Structure 1
Amino acid sequence: MLETLRSIGYTLDTAVADIIDNSIAAGATEVQLEMVWQGRQSTLTIADNGRGMDAEQLREAMRLGSRHPGQVRHRDDLGRFGLGLKTASFSQCRRFTVLSKPKGGEVTYRCWDLDYVNETKAWNLLCHVSDEDLITQLAAQPQGTIVFWENMDRLVGDLKAGSEKHEAVFGRYVRLVEHHLAMVFHRYLEDGGLSIYVNGDKLAPWNPFLTAEPSTQRLPEEALFSGQVIIRPYILPHHRRLSHPDLFDQAGGLRGWNAHQGFYIYRNRRLLVAGDWLGLFRREEHCKLARIMVDLPNTLDDAWQIDIRKAQSFPPATLQNDFRRIGTLARTRAVEVYRARGRKLKHTHSIGFTPVWQENIRLGQRHYTINRQHPLVKDVLDKAQGQSSAILHAVLRMLEETIPVPLIVLSEAEKPREQAMPYENVSDQEILPLIQDMFCDFRAAGRSAAEVRQLLLNMEPFNYFPHLIDKLTD
């Protein structure tokens, strides 16, 4: 059974987060995580200053299934099954020890050793600590708990001490854990109620919603399920609108912008699901700016199918239409920001907007064509005659049929900051004559100056230059 529980699906980062859940539930304000590289003898220690446990409480905490998942819990409790400490630890190591000290009490400790259980065929906890310095460390505190992992076969495997390459692999594990904890517990870290240190360095919170950025859009908050489920959609700024260039890479996290779009599900401010469309939509490059915060209480665990690892959750069927509606709105807004590339435009893609390119469906396949009704294009086509007209139509068709869509999509995904805006780095002196000519042509056709200005503000690419349109004169 113990060997089976090792394969329940934890990764190193989710396992460590599950242990820290217990620290938070115990009222800890500080957690110290130490990951020590020693090849196969590498260890991981998680120490907190929470309430601690006496001998009987520790024995109960080490028992598998120490609580019923349906029992009533404190509203701030992050646990559910009474398995997290054991399954998270077993998933990464073959022996783990828990030392604890309640306020005014003595240090007590117990150890699960899978090899010992296999040898003795008995469910026996050991009263053993392989590193007695941990006892001294905890005895110096008023209270707290230490979880100590060793024989970390799942993590270390064949990595060998003395190998720089293998030590670098271990270092990547450390960075993965740092980012995951900074993300999962960012709301605790932000309000100052919790500090987490990894190998002595204090973690800074990773807020996926960039709430401190002035250009982040906050869509209306909604309360569902009799007010128990709170949803707050955010549309992140285009990278051109970020207050600092480094924010683009930071906001992308370890998995990148595309992987972080979607719903973020929190239970008691603890992040469970980090960026997922929950089977309602597909991940799309042009929707990567949409991130939606969902807050749940711990009384809805069953309805939301929260698993032991606290890494998966799905909305009940009664809420899926609402989630689809809210997700559709957020994705639509994200597409608008993405396509505008962060520029403040004088249109909202409403009726009257005139794009240069159009998307069309031909024989079930998507094609992009030049808008023949765009005033500039239409003017050129109207003036062309005879063979010149035929050649011009042929050239436009050739351009439409040979757009390198796969290359554009790949380049945009891999190097979005290198994609130029329309007429980027072109001086106003070069653009103004073109806009002025259009203005005069429309005026000559009998339109008023105000009408022509509004027409140009709704016409691509002139909508990128409202400051020039304001300068137009008869």
Structure 2
Amino acid sequence: MNSTHLPFEEAGPRADAMLETLRSIGYTLDTAVADIIDNSIAAGATLVQLEMIWQGQESTLSIADNGRGMDAEALREAMRPGSRHPGQARHKDDLGRFGLGLKTASFSQCRRFTVLSKPAGGEVSYRCWDLDYVNQAKAWNLLCHVSDETLIEQLDAQEQGTIVFWEKLDRLVNELQYGNPQHEAIFGNYVKLVEHHLSMVFHRYMEDGSLSIEVNGQKLTPWDPFLSAEPSTQRLPEETLFNGKVTVRPYILPHHRRLSHPDLFDQAGGLRGWNAHQGFYIYRNRRLLVAGDWLNLFRREEHCKLARIMVDLPNTLDSEWQIDIRKAQSHPPAILRNDLRRIGTRARTQAVEVYRARGKRLKHTHSVGFTPVWHENVRLGQRHYTINRQHPLVLDLLNRYKGAEASGLLHAVFRMIEETVPVPLIVLSEAEKPREQALPYEGVSDQEILPLMLDLYKDFRAAGRSPAEVRQLLLSTEPFNYFPHLLDQLPDV
């Protein structure tokens, strides 16, 4: 049916209702600021300066960059809600999509925001959206006004650039009052939250030197979730999916005992902690969208917290990956879920090995023929832990007390120990205070272990095994695998 000649009447949205609605898309302060910086990067900025000024109800936030800037007409178009079609072809480095980010991010945090911009060789232009004014006028009236003229002077002193200025920060300051130390501390926490988020989201830009971000005059340090500079970080094989458009790089972070510096543990845990940061990290044009999520493929588990997987996407796959306006959520296409599950399973398995090894080299604890002290068993669908009756030291003890009464008492004691292992307490302590958990025989002197090792060495030799065979058996027997250096003190006969 040809609709070009059908009768119609215009039914555009009410300005006041629509702009108030755009405030509730779901931005947080940190995601809103990051969305503004996306525009700076798209404009070729190499420096972004964020100022968060505490003045109680008069607090302000400004984001200034040295990007290409805009003339008056381009600025007016940029301030228009829905200034571009999401299906419109874009430059491969463009971080935008909907033409809403500047407006929705700003409206989510303040009732008035002004954008000032200056192209190279041009003049400063400025436009302002004021929600209180729009509510009164009931019209889409974009103001040609700036409340702080020092911003004009600041930008005019630059060759080019843009400043986004937020006022009436009702969502941020709410009832906070100037002069109240507790309220000022709350505002200070907002600053810290933004600092960490920007260090994480744009860490790859900061690492390669293409972008510098300052917050209140302090340059941010990039937060690398993969600890890629650590010698003990494991890099599993990289894969490309979706006809080469998607690149996946799994990383297994070191156990905290193998970090090169103690402070790295807290740094790598981020604001949300180690458990919350495991999983896939989705990047679009090197900009982080999703920071640690198993994408409904797996559950978060304590023993998988060392697995972090980098996924790189181009901006041409926004629709397939269901990237939202806030650029804070993403869902992989169904065709990739099996591959991502396979890669995630491999990474999680390796992470479990590192976690259980507790920082020791895997070849010492999981070589072929390894003899542990404890076994994990499943009984009636539930996990149980039992003492390994075939462990050489346990077996030696059982052989020494073969009498029915003594043997029965030993087995009863073993059973009591097995049934009362405080698993919930161990798991909770490991999750909350991992650095306070001791390794087996940690702090125990060699002189306490060497006599046990010598006795077992003699027993194995008496059974006809060669010195080399005995050394290999001891190296794969717990707890002697934690003391490989003591093998040099064993006799050669």
Residue 367 in 1 paired to residue 421 in 2?
no
Output the CA distance in 2 between the equivalents of 1:301 and 1:454. Answer: 55
Match of 1:273 in 2: 290
Residue 20 in 1 paired to residue 52 in 2?
no
Match of 2:113 in 1: 96
Residue 226 in 1 paired to residue 243 in 2?
yes
Residue 422 in 1 paired to residue 468 in 2?
no
- Post-superposition Cα deviations, 1:231-277, rounded to whole Å, max 9, x if no partner, equal 11111111111111111111111111111111111111100111111
Residue 465 in 1 paired to residue 483 in 2?
yes
Contact 2:357 2:365 in 1 (8 A): no
Question: Which of 437, 454, 457 is equivalent to 2:455?
Answer: 437
Output the CA distance in 2 between the equivalents of 1:4 and 1:436. Answer: 77
Deviation of the 1:279 alpha carbon: 0.8
Output the CA distance in 2 between the equivalents of 1:458 and 1:2. Answer: 68
Question: Which of 395, 415, 423 is equivalent to 1:397?
Answer: 415
Match of 2:400 in 1: 383
- Post-superposition Cα deviations, 1:18-75, rounded to whole Å, max 9, x if no partner, equal 0000000000010000000111111100000000001110111011111111111100
Deviation of the 1:344 alpha carbon: 2.1
Contact 2:283 2:290 in 1 (8 A): yes
Output the CA distance in 2 between the equivalents of 1:456 and 1:324. Answer: 38
Output the CA distance in 2 between the equivalents of 1:155 and 1:439. Answer: 69
Output the CA distance in 2 between the equivalents of 1:235 and 1:351. Answer: 23
Output the CA distance in 2 between the equivalents of 1:362 and 1:93. Answer: 58
Match of 1:66 in 2: 83
Match of 2:467 in 1: 449
- Post-superposition Cα deviations, 1:126-172, rounded to whole Å, max 9, x if no partner, equal 11111111111111111100000011111111111111001001000
Contact 1:345 1:463 in 2 (8 A): no
Alignment RMSD, CA only? 1.2
Q: How high is the sequence identity, in percent, across the aligned residues? A: 82
Contact 2:354 2:362 in 1 (8 A): no
Deviation of the 1:348 alpha carbon: 6.1
Output the CA distance in 1 between the equivalents of 2:485 and 2:248. Answer: 37
Match of 1:183 in 2: 200
Deviation of the 1:470 alpha carbon: 4.0
Contact 1:346 1:466 in 2 (8 A): no
Deviation of the 1:469 alpha carbon: 2.5
Residue 209 in 1 paired to residue 229 in 2?
no
Output the CA distance in 1 between the equivalents of 2:347 and 2:185. Answer: 40
* Between 343-352 and 303-312, the greater mean CA deviation after superposition: 343-352
Output the CA distance in 1 between the equivalents of 2:471 and 2:341. Answer: 38
Q: Which amino acid aligns with 1:239?
A: H
Secondary structure, counterpart of 1:6 in structure 2: helix
Match of 1:349 in 2: 366
Output the CA distance in 1 between the equivalents of 2:335 and 2:478. Answer: 42
Residue 322 in 1 paired to residue 326 in 2?
no
Secondary structure, counterpart of 2:127 in structure 1: strand
What does 1:288-303 align with in structure 2 at a 5 Å threshold? 288-303=305-320
What does 1:62-141 align with in structure 2 at a 5 Å threshold? 62-141=79-158
Match of 1:412 in 2: 430
Secondary structure, counterpart of 2:322 in structure 1: coil
Q: Which amino acid aligns with 2:26?
A: G
Question: Which of 272, 277, 299 is equivalent to 1:255?
Answer: 272
Secondary structure, counterpart of 1:50 in structure 2: coil
- Post-superposition Cα deviations, 1:311-365, rounded to whole Å, max 9, x if no partner, equal 1112111111111111111111111111111122434635422211122222222
Q: Which amino acid aligns with 1:426?
A: V
Contact 2:62 2:164 in 1 (8 A): yes
Output the CA distance in 2 between the equivalents of 1:354 and 1:317. Answer: 43
Q: Which amino acid aligns with 2:409?
A: I
Unaligned runs of 5+ in 1: none
Secondary structure, counterpart of 2:363 in structure 1: coil
Q: Which amino acid aligns with 2:77?
A: E
Residue 51 in 1 paired to residue 65 in 2?
no
Match of 1:148 in 2: 165
* Between 286-295 and 361-370, the greater mean CA deviation after superposition: 361-370
TM-score, length basis structure 2:
0.94
Deviation of the 1:383 alpha carbon: 2.4
Contact 1:45 1:148 in 2 (8 A): yes
Deviation of the 1:120 alpha carbon: 1.3
Deviation of the 1:417 alpha carbon: 0.8
Output the CA distance in 2 between the equivalents of 1:368 and 1:157. Answer: 54
Q: Which amino acid aligns with 1:416?
A: P
Deviation of the 1:382 alpha carbon: 2.7
Deviation of the 1:411 alpha carbon: 1.0
Secondary structure, counterpart of 1:40 in structure 2: helix
Q: How many residues align?
A: 474
Secondary structure, counterpart of 2:213 in structure 1: strand
Secondary structure, counterpart of 1:346 in structure 2: helix
- Post-superposition Cα deviations, 1:371-411, rounded to whole Å, max 9, x if no partner, equal 12222212212322221111111111111111111111111
What does 1:164-183 align with in structure 2 at a 5 Å threshold? 164-183=181-200
Output the CA distance in 2 between the equivalents of 1:64 and 1:373. Answer: 72
Output the CA distance in 1 between the equivalents of 2:38 and 2:474. Answer: 57
Output the CA distance in 2 between the equivalents of 1:222 and 1:167. Answer: 48
